[in-house]
Structures are given as C-alpha cells and as structure tokens.
A and B are shown apart, each in its own frame.
Chain A
Amino acid sequence: MFRNQYDTDVTTWSPTGRLFQVEYAMEAVKQGSAAIGLRSRSHVVLACVNKAQSELSSHQKKIFKVDDHIGVAIAGLTADGRVLSRYMRSEAINHSFTYESPLHVGRLVVHLADKAQVCTQRSWKRPYGVGLLVGGLDESGAHLYYNCPSGNYFEYQAFAIGSRSQAAKTYLERRFESFGDSSREDLIKDAILAVRETLQGETLKSSLCTVSVLGVGEPFHFLDQETIQKVIDTFEKVPEDEEGEAGEGEAEAAAAAPAEQGGGGAGVGEPFHFLDQETIQKVIDTFEKVPEDEEGEAGEGEAEAAAAAPAEQGGGGAGDQDVAPMEM
C-alpha cells in the first residue's frame, strides 16, 4: 500500500471510493500472530500461535472467554482486542442477567460490528486494529464469525487470520467440508495441524500454541499443555533435545508468567528488598576472575544492575561512584 493524499483520516473518501484508514487497519490484523477457528455442528475450537515480544517475555493472551458459550480469538493490536473482549463480556453478562438466558452469538457479533463501524465514521476516532474470531454455541447451533476492523462480519466453517494465516487457510480449505460432522477430537487435531501450517517448518510444541474448546454440554475452556502435547505427539515425532527442553522451560515460564517476577527483589514468601553489596559480590565472584581494579568493578556493577533492573537500584551505580541513591 502506498501513501496518498486521501489516507490522512478515516472520514476522507478516496476518488475510487475507498477509506484507506480502514484498509490500513485491516493490515494491522495481518501483522499479528495467527489465530484459527473451526466449527463442527456441536463444537467450536479456537487456536492461536503464542508470540512473545522477545525471548525474555511471556506471550500475549489472544484467546478470551466471553461467556460459558462464547469465546473469542484476536489478531492485531491486542490492546484493542482486550478492550473489545471486555465489551463482549459485558454484553453477554447483561443479557444473561436480564433474560436468564445465554446471548445469541449472532446478535453479539452484530453489536460488535456496529461498534467497529462507528469508528469508521467519526473524525476523532480511529478504527480498531484487531480482527476477532468469535466462536459460540446457541439455540441455532455452533457458529464461527470473523469481525473486521471495517465493521463487517462474516460467518465461517473455518477461518484463519494474522501472519502466515494463508498457509492455515489452504489447509482448512482442503478439509472444511468434513468439519460439520467431525468429532470433537478430530476438530481439535485439525486446529492444531492448522496452527502447524503457520509455523512454516518450525517444530510444533505445545508451548507454541494455545487451544480452546466449547460445545454442546461443554463450556468454554482452555486445553492444558499436556492434552495439546498428546495430540501433537500423534503426528509429530521430535527427539527430546536441548531445544525441546528450552521449549518446555518457556512453557513453564509462560504458564506461570503472572506469578514470577524474575529473580529480582521479590518472590514467594519474600517481600521486596535490596540485596546488600556483599551478597552481590559473592555472586559475581562465582563467575568473574578479574583483578580487583576500579574499571572491572564498574563493568560488573553495570552487568548486575542490568540483570536485576527493577529491584536493585544501588548495585552498579553506588559501587563505582560511592554516591547516595538520589543520583539515580
């Protein structure tokens, strides 16, 4: 897409009848990591690729429970997705409270689409930069919808959005006709296989994907790593090597992300506190064999400060400057 004079705000039409800001918003969806949805007559499976900002961080949450009978997977600006998920939860629970009945999925997606449309027709707003795969079960059966930043929505038997989703779509296109009558287990397997397609050669591990299911007699819930790994094992034969272990380590970290803060100054049963100079030096001595000179200490000090950044404020700076913490 090229820059042009009609793309500055969303309330400007181009001479060819396009709203470029809306189209750019749809590009944002394509940049997000893949999300996949499939449905049978009785179940809906939503799966996504766990993408983390860096190796050090945990992956972002891309699948949300909206109600016992509705789940949503997002791709694109996850912050926008989070806000829209909150809106959906609110609509679902308000309906449930007033009518003592689960909200029809088809009506929820229309509310969502109308909300997105508003942002395409106000000069002080911008379109939501997130695509939503809404899966749900109601009186009229199992449904899968895709909501666009443009305010359009479509119903699908199976769909994939986000980066490298075309590979997944190709896989789904070959198989979708059989999904209607698929068993729950086959549907889950197809979802994970579709996720594998988007990884383009990278080995599929349960730590790399999140899978959720809902269906007749089965409220929305996530499948745990073990269950996913078992399905993967039925078609992937990967030797348990270093990479595998690292992967599991990540899975552990990812799974426990909210609880662990990373060895800084706080932990389970251990209130926040600073480590004293002696303790720090002892740790340094286990790996640094450097003669005790001014520059050496400064270097190590900085390394320590970087590693324990949030918790320790005096480790590096105070070590070589002997000034009060206020300097920082």
Chain B
Amino acid sequence: MTFTIPIDNGDSVKNAEADSQRTLYPYVTGTSIVAIKYKDGVLMASDMGGSYGSTLRYKNIERMKAIGKHSLLGASGEISDFQEILRYLDELVLNDNMWDDGNSLGPKEVHNYLTRVMYNRRNKFNPLWNTLVLGGVKNGESYLGMVSMIGVSFEDNHVATGFGNHLARPILRDEWHADLSFEDGVKLLEKCMRVLLYRDRSAINKLQIAKITEEGVTVSQPYSLNTFWEFKAFHNPTAGAEGSW
C-alpha cells in the first residue's frame, strides 16, 4: 500500500521536505499480536521483536501496554507510531484523571478514540502505520477490539494482526469458546504463537503474555516457547540435491 498524494508543500522535486511531511513506509516494525477473551477478561500475546526491514534488529520491544485502569493496548507495525499513540493516550488518561470525579475511561471509549485518531490520519494521507488491539474489562464486562491504519474498526471474541490473521485466527475459530480458563487461554495463545514462530520470518522466540481483568493489567516476564526441529527431513537436507545448501 502506498500513500502517493502529497501534503501541499510544493512538489518534492524542488522541495525536499515535501514528502518527509507524511508517512510513506514503515521502518522499524513489530509483527503479530494475538488476543482472546476468556473467563475473567482478556489475554493478549506478542513477541518482543522490532524488525528493520528484513533484519531482526531489536529484541526487547514491549508491544503491549496498560492504558488507564481498564485497558490494554497491543500494536503491530511501525514502533515509533505506536510510541506516538502511547503519548496521545497518556494525555487522554491524564486529563481523565484530572477530573478526579470517580469516572474513568473504559476500553470502549479508548477504542473509539483510537478509531477516530486513525481514521482522521488516514484521511489526511498521513497514517499512523499500526494495527492496534485494544482489550479491557470494566464493570465486569470484557471488551476486545481492533483498529487498523486505515481506520477499520471492529470488536470480536478473538483478534489477531498481520500474519496472525492468516495463521492464528483459523486456530482460534476452531478452538476458541466462551469462558476459557486462564490456563486453557494461555495454552491456546501459545499454540498460535508457536505456529507464528515457525512460519513468520519476522517473529522471534521471546514472547510476553498479558492479562487484563477487573483487578487490572499484568504483563508477564519474557519467555521462550519450546520448538521442535528434529524432523527427519531436516537431518540431511541436501540428500536429494548434492552440492546445494
């Protein structure tokens, strides 16, 4: 996808700054986020990688953050845009807290605010290059939604971004059911993350799982999944073609 209509700062032949006014392509990106609703709230998983094109450059990026008391935001796509969104939300939550009136922004409000932000940026041909996953619990009700960089927004019982859409969601469609226990939820997410680890070249084996319930947000310490590489076909890979690698 390219955004080819420039902001009016003259043409980019004579004015080198014209194109640098808006996002053209992402630079440092995070890969999939997978999230599901479960018995007590929402579970979300992401790895800690930041790719610089095809190089896996950064390996300690937290792509899931708590927002206020009731929400958890996960992002894939451009990391710097994610940080910018966190700054917007920080201000939003701060102003909400300053009212000091016992009311607080719930996940539905945050999700809709983000939808407005993403859609308005898209309309200016200067998008925030992210797909965001917003989960939360307020007053006993779980909420899980997603917003893309072009402002497409919806809620569902399970969501995934990027490669997760293609590899994780089919698993979730088959195996997700309402009122999953915490252990079953984590097992399900790990199953999805393992498939992504095998098949998504921008995934790394260092992931976090975050949980949000009525009590609040907890993000796990990073850990790795067990993988299996001892398939017979991997033992002598060049058996059928001597001299190749």
Minimal Cβ-Cβ distance residue in A for B139: A139
Within 8 A of A (CB), among B65-101: 99, 101
Complex formed: what's the CA distance from A295 to B99 in Å? 74
Contact B116 A98 (CB under 8 A): yes
User: Which A residues are in CB contact (< 8 Å) with B112?
Assistant: 98-101
- Cβ contact within 8 Å between A106 and B109: no
A140-B103 in contact (CB<8A): yes
B116 contact set on A, CB distance < 8 A = 97-98
Cβ-defined contact, B103 with A138, below 8 A: yes
Q: How far is the CA of A107 from the CA of B103 in the complex (A)?
A: 9
Q: Report how far A100 CA is from B116 CA in the complex, Å.
A: 10
**Which of B99, B102, B113 makes the CB contact (< 8 A) with A99?**
B113
Contact A104 B106 (CB under 8 A): no
Q: Is the CB of A104 within 8 A of B101?
A: yes
Identify the closest chain A residue to B115 (Cβ): A100
B113 and A104 contact, CB distance less than 8 A? no
- Specify the chain B residue showing the minimal Cβ separation from A139: B103
Cβ of A101: which chain B residues have Cβ within 8 Å of it? 106, 108-109, 112
Q: Nearest CB to that of B116 among chain A residues? A: A98
**Smallest CB separation, A93 vs chain B (Å):** 14
Assembled-state Cα–Cα distance A107/B102 (Å) = 11
Report the interface size for chain B: residues with CB under 8 A from the other chain.
13
Those of A76-129 within 8 Å (CB) of chain B: 97-101, 104, 106-107, 110
Interface mask (A255-271 → B, CB under 8 Å = 1, otherwise 0)? 00000000000000000
CA distance A107 to B95 in the complex (A): 12
A138–B104 alpha-carbon span in the complex (Å): 12
When A98-B113, A98-B116 are in contact, do A104 and B108 touch as well, CB less than 8 Å? no
Chain A residues whose C-beta falls within 8 Å of the C-beta of B103 in the assembled complex? 104, 106-107, 138-140
- The reply to whether A100 and B101 contact each other, CB–CB distance below 8 Å, is no
Kindly identify which residue among A97, A100, A107, A138 contacts B108, using a CB–CB cutoff of 8 Å.
A100
How near does chain A come to B172, taking the closest CB pair, in angstroms?
A: 25
Q: Which residue of A lies closest to B103 (CB)?
A: A104
Q: Is B105 an interface residue (CB 8 A)?
A: yes
Set of chain B residues within 8 Å of A97, measured between Cβ atoms: 116
Instruction: Known A98-B112, A100-B112; judge A107-B105 contact (CB<8 A).
Output: no
Taking a contact as CB atoms under 8 Å apart, the answer to whether A100 and B99 are in contact is: no
Interface string of B101-138 (1 = CB under 8 A from A): 11101101101110010000000000000000000000
Contacts of B109 in A (CB 8 A): 99-101
CA distance A28 to B8 in the complex (A): 53
Chain A hits for B99, CB < 8 A: 107, 110
How many angstroms from the CA of A139 to the CA of B109 in the assembled complex? 13
| Cβ–Cβ < 8 Å partners of A140 in chain B | 102-103
Of the listed residues B103, B111, B116, the one surrounded by the most CB atoms of chain A closer than 10 A to its CB is B103
Q: Which residue of the partner chain A has the closest CB to B106? A: A101
Q: How far is the CB of A97 from chain B (nearest CB, A)?
A: 8
When distances are taken between beta carbons in the complex, the residues of chain B under 8 Å from A139 are 103, 139
Min CB gap A78→B, angstroms: 30
With both chains docked as a complex, state the minimum distance between the C-beta of A136 and any C-beta of chain B, in angstroms: 13
| Bound CA–CA A138/B103 (angstroms) | 10
Q: How far is the CB of B141 from chain A (nearest CB, A)?
A: 12
With most chain B CB atoms within 10 A of its CB, the pick from A99, A106, A138 is A99
CB-based nearest B residue for A138: B103
Interchain CA distance A97-B116 in the complex, whole Å:
9
* Closest Cβ–Cβ distance, residue B144 to chain A (whole Å): 15
Residues of chain A lying within 8 A (CB to CB) of residue B108: 99-101
Contact B105 A106 (CB under 8 A): no
A106–B106 CB distance below 8 A: no
Interface string of A119-157 (1 = CB under 8 A from B): 000000000000000000011100000000000000000
In the complex, how many angstroms separate the beta carbon of A55 from the nearest chain B beta carbon? 46
Nearest CB in chain B: distance from A115 CB, A = 16
In the bound complex, what is the Cα–Cα distance between A80 and B232 (angstroms)?
84
A98 to B103, CA, bound (A): 17
Instruction: Give the chain B neighbours of A106 by CB distance below 8 A.
Output: 101, 103
8 nearest A-B residue pairs (beta carbon): A100-B112, A99-B109, A104-B103, A101-B109, A106-B101, A99-B112, A98-B116, A98-B113
A residues sitting closer than 8 Å to B (CB atoms) are 97-101, 104, 106-107, 110, 138-140
Using CB atoms and an 8 Å cutoff, list the residues of chain B in contact with chain A. 99, 101-103, 105-106, 108-109, 111-113, 116, 139
Known: A99-B108, A100-B112, A140-B103. 16 other contacts (CB 8 A): A98-B112, A98-B113, A98-B116, A99-B109, A99-B112, A99-B113, A100-B109, A100-B111, A101-B108, A101-B109, A101-B112, A104-B101, A106-B103, A107-B103, A138-B103, A139-B139
Q: List 30 A-B contacts (CB under 8 A).
A: A97-B116, A98-B112, A98-B113, A98-B116, A99-B105, A99-B108, A99-B109, A99-B112, A99-B113, A100-B108, A100-B109, A100-B111, A100-B112, A101-B106, A101-B108, A101-B109, A101-B112, A104-B101, A104-B103, A106-B101, A106-B103, A107-B99, A107-B101, A107-B103, A110-B99, A138-B103, A139-B103, A139-B139, A140-B102, A140-B103
